[in-house]
């Protein structure tokens, strides 16, 4: 029955998209270099319908990681592509999104595996004079790992330059990763530091961070570490 979940949910969502709501499409892509975890990239595409505060969507997701060359105790390369369907519900003035998705891996080391994810995420930002601050958090249960993962980030900053194209800003940053199992060092850590970033028309971002971190649980070579990062991301 579990292996049929992606097909059943996809048919249900496709029917909802065909007969109800306002159609939409969106895409996301990022590329990240981190001294601690190496190179990674993810891309996703959603097509669906919005009906009030509820989204029904079909999705295509691709993820790629390469931790070789880092000081992690278990270095690896991984990739995977999955297709699926999901439902999302927006609350608190659209700042919080609750979601449930079911997918099936079609390419990578685990073809045919079912990928169920349930979670809640939220984002908010506020501005006063030249001060600009944002806050993001997510909690997700992933069936393939049989674990729940928490990520939270807080960035208080100041605008250095702003025009009709975007914003250049400098900020302090604090971040937390935590998992239910607690056996992966990179998923159970805290970081703090400073960064500079550019936001282009609220769609493209480029950030350079200098962070220091501490891993409080799980296997990792160094509990205390320095972690510069470069992050490129876009949503369309």
> How many distinct structural domains can be found in the chain?
1
Quote the pLDDT of residue 202: 86
Quote the pLDDT of residue 21: 72
Domain that residue 52 falls in:
2-235
Extract the tokens encoding 213. Answer: 């971190």
**Residue corresponding to tokens 């990179």:** 186
Quote the pLDDT of residue 69: 84
The CATH number for 184's domain is: 2.40.128
Quote the pLDDT of residue 19: 59
Q: Which pLDDT tens digits describe the chain residue by residue (236 residues)? A: 445 555 556 666 666 666 567 888 999 999 999 999 999 999 999 999 988 899 999 999 999 999 998 878 888 888 889 999 999 999 998 899 999 999 888 988 778 888 899 999 999 999 999 999 999 999 999 998 899 999 999 999 999 999 999 999 999 999 999 999 999 999 999 999 999 999 999 899 999 999 999 999 999 989 999 999 999 999 98
pTM for the full predicted model? 0.88
């Amino acid at each position: 029955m579990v292996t049929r979940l992606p097909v059943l949910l996809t048919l249900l969502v496709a029917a909802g998209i065909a007969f109800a709501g306002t159609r939409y499409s969106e895409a996301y892509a990022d590329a990240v270099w981190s001294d601690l975890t190496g190179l990674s990239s993810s891309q996703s595409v959603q097509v669906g319908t919005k009906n009030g505060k509820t989204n029904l969507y079909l999705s295509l997701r691709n993820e790629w990681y390469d931790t070789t060359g880092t000081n992690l105790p278990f270095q690896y390369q991984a990739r995977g592509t999955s297709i699926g369907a999901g439902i999302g519900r927006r609350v608190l003035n659209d700042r919080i999104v609750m979601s449930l998705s079911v997918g099936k891996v079609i390419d990578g080391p685990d073809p045919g595996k079912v990928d169920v994810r349930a979670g809640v995420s939220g984002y908010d930002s506020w501005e006063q004079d030249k001060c600009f601050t944002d806050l993001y958090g997510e909690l997700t249960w992933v069936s393939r790992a049989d674990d729940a993962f928490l990520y939270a980030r807080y960035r208080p900053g100041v605008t250095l330059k702003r025009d009709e194209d975007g914003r250049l800003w400098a900020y302090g940053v604090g971040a937390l990763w935590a998992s239910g199992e607690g056996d992966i060092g990179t998923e159970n850590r805290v970081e703090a530091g400073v960064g500079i970033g550019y936001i282009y028309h609220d769609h493209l971002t480029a950030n350079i961070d200098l962070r220091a971190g501490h891993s409080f649980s799980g296997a990792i070579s160094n509990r205390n570490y320095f972690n510069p990062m470069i992050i490129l991301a876009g949503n369309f």
